[in-house]
Amino acid sequence: MRKFLLRQPPLLLLLMAFAAVAREREPNVRNVYVRDDPKDEAKRVYVTGEVVTVLRFQQPCDPERTKMLGWEGRFEPVQCAGKSVLIVPLQDLEPEDRFLLLVTLTDGKELPFTVTATGKKERERPDQQVNVFLDPETREALQAQLKDARTRAQLLEEASRRHWKEDTEDHALARFLAKDSLRLTPLRARKRWYFKNKGATIEATVLTGKAKAAVLFHVTNSDPTRPWSLSGARLLTTRPGEKAPVLFGEAKPFALQKDWDELGPGASGSLAVVVDKSAFTSREGPCDLTVELYRQDGLLETHILLDRRLVRE
């Protein structure tokens, strides 16, 4: 059965969705510390097509002696503006692309950098600004190191909290489903839906088991140029006849697992949502639930209604 949906979320939902992806849209400012050691590798700079990346130094650079090798046709000419160097790729780079950027400061010091494509790891997001410190003892460098240390501590705390939170039976089931290991779970398929939207084609399979319900989403990025990623998901109580997006439902806990960060053009991946029987009860009594998935721009990509009768057994 095919179902084609046109979704135009109201302003309230858009504001809620954009708030959910606010962190992803924060400027990616990174600090690097260059030691005067010939054994050190050139620092990497991660760029993306048609987006300016700025390298910021503690002293002015020399425009005549700052250059990138092999930039023709792939970048705009590298520009020096005071203490800043501007890099503008004309298009996305391939993962294997490497370009040597040699920045020369006005005191004659030469600093090599490797300009490359973004990757899947958190530290390989596109750089919007890279602050380069040569002397680690200056006030600015010490302040940057303190900020970096606080950020690392916060990330470790979040990872620890997330690991503790996801150490549950529901998350274990979701991990098996996301890795296409349905046969290793007690869940069985009940219904299957197909959604073909502008940016993605999604196959959604509703699963049931003893006191559990789940949805396995198989997502294919149908955009020929842009990656697809998940900005967030919601599980909300739903009144009879109510349609997504659900604006006033009660939020319920759920387990979500996937083993990818984003899907390139034409790529596919799976993600799984597992719901415990207890979630099908609201303040008013037994209720249905709606699973909503939001894509990277904050818009609703797809939704699935979970009937309370799925977990009656």
The 10s digit of each residue's pLDDT in 164-223 is 555 688 888 999 999 988 888 889 999 999 998 888 999 999 999 889 999 999 999 998
Radius of gyration for the chain, computed over Cα atoms and rounded to the nearest angstrom: 24
- Please report the pLDDT score of residue 296 as a whole number: 86
Nearest to 112 by CA among 62, 71, 77, 67: 67
Task: List the structure tokens of 116.
Answer: 């490359």
Cβ contact 228:296 at 8 Å: yes
Cβ contact 290:206 at 8 Å: no
- Please report the pLDDT score of residue 1 as a whole number: 36
Whole-angstrom distance, CA of residue 279 vs CA of residue 235 = 9
Exposure on the CB side of residue 208, measured as CA atoms within 13 A: 12
Q: What is the pTM of this model?
A: 0.56
Question: Which residues are within 8 A (CB) of 215 and not within 5 positions of it... i.e. 6 or more apart?
Answer: 204, 205, 206, 207, 272, 273, 291, 304, 306
Q: Which 3 state secondary structure label does DSSP give 23?
A: helix
The 10s digit of each residue's pLDDT in 27-50 is 588 888 887 766 677 899 999 888
Residues of the chain with pLDDT under 50: 1-25
